[in-house]
Structure 1
Amino acid sequence: MSSTPAQLIAPAIRLALSPARFATYEAVAAAAGRSQEDAVILYSWNAHVSGALLTPIHICEVAIRNAVSEALTAVYGPHWPWDRNFENSLPVAKGNGYQQRNDLITTRNRYRTTDRVVVELKFVFWEKMFTSRHDPRIWDIHLFSIFPNLPRAQPVAVHRLRLAADLEAVRLLRNRIAHHEPIFKRNLSAELLKVQNLVEARCQVSAASVMGEKQALAAIQAKPF
């Protein structure tokens, strides 16, 4: 098998990935006084760091959805996906935005156990559970038992707002990774810290495990330019 000459590698990759997609990386490389080959290196790093971030994001998503499910079980019982009071507590969205109530109904109609519904509901479903509408029944009563490592000196509403904001940031990062989009312009160290803080609020051991692997942090720090 013949090897490709070095001067042809970057143009070949550019063509394979599409000029439009590769242009984002070329522009950044050019602005930094770098070559097309450096744009390939940045693209490869972007793919590598995306993969490295999936593990802590995975742990975060599972920890949060299980935490919310536990809170819902405490309020509405073990079959909370079918509880009409819970269903009615969810907003009826207008337009083409995310339909949280419809998401619940569609999912519970397809899967007949709570555990399965928890697995299949969208990440955004769990994010939307951290809105003020759920404070009286859920978070005012259960926030500190579900997230025992949150400092009690701050009120429930402050913690809930931060949890919601951090979850949104993590979800948007996750979606960009899932669609193979550029994430090199983001403050990935800060977003990894949000992942850690979300998990730590629930379980310090799990949070230590997330950061203990060091793969994601090492990948972030290896950014070529």
Structure 2
Amino acid sequence: MAPDHVVAELNFGFWVSLLSKGGRGGQYDRQLWVPALHKAFPHYAGRRDELHGALDALRLLRNRVMHHEPIHHRDLALDHRMIYRVLGWISTEAAKEIQVLDRFPAVLTHRAATCGGGRSPRF
């Protein structure tokens, strides 16, 4: 299998785990984070464990959504801001470009009316 195909088959959880403390004595730090992985987040200046926590929270949200689990009880506006925060750590340009297409704020605005039955859902 070609390297590109191997990379494409790796799941989000794998990539998040690369930012964890990792192996004995934090080997991920010396072997992965310092020489290479930090370059994937050029606009991030915090601690790696905080970055891992943010990405892991997004992984859990993604899993809930993809497995059709309820997320209505969550602070979805906070989740939305976290998505943009993490995206901005990777690419501020991409974050700005994607906001142009983002319909989530409009959907969230009508959440109460939709959940109360006063408005039909529109996606």
Identify the TM-score tier after normalising by the shorter chain.
0.7 to 0.9
Name the SS of the counterpart of 2:35 in structure 1: helix
Letter paired with 1:116: H
Aligned-partner Cα distance in 2 for 1:200–1:137: 25
**Structure 1 unaligned residues grouped into runs of 5+:** 1-111
Name the SS of the counterpart of 2:73 in structure 1: coil
The answer to which structure, 1 or 2, has the higher relative contact order (CA under 8 A, 6+ apart) is: 1
- TM-score of the superposed pair, with normalisation by structure 1: 0.44
Q: CA deviation at 1:142?
A: 3.3
What is the match of residue 40 of structure 2?
146
Paired residues of 1:150 and 1:201 also in contact (CA < 8 A) = yes
- TM-score of the superposed pair, with normalisation by structure 2: 0.76
Aligned-partner Cα distance in 2 for 1:179–1:194: 20
What is the match of residue 130 of structure 1?
19
Letter paired with 2:4: D
Q: How does 1:53-64 map to 2 (within 5 A)?
A: none
Aligned-partner Cα distance in 2 for 1:144–1:205: 18
Query: Which of 51, 61, 67 matches 1:173?
Result: 61
What is the match of residue 79 of structure 2?
191
The CA deviation string for residues 137-185 of structure 1, in whole angstroms up to 9 with x for no partner, is 221233543321123xx4xxx1x11221111111111111112221111
Q: How many residues align?
A: 108
Inter-CA distance 125–144: structure 2 relative to 1 (3 Å threshold): closer
Aligned-partner Cα distance in 2 for 1:113–1:145: 24
Name the SS of the counterpart of 1:181 in structure 2: coil
Larger radius of gyration: 1
What is the match of residue 55 of structure 1?
none
> What is the percentage of aligned positions where both structures have the same residue?
30
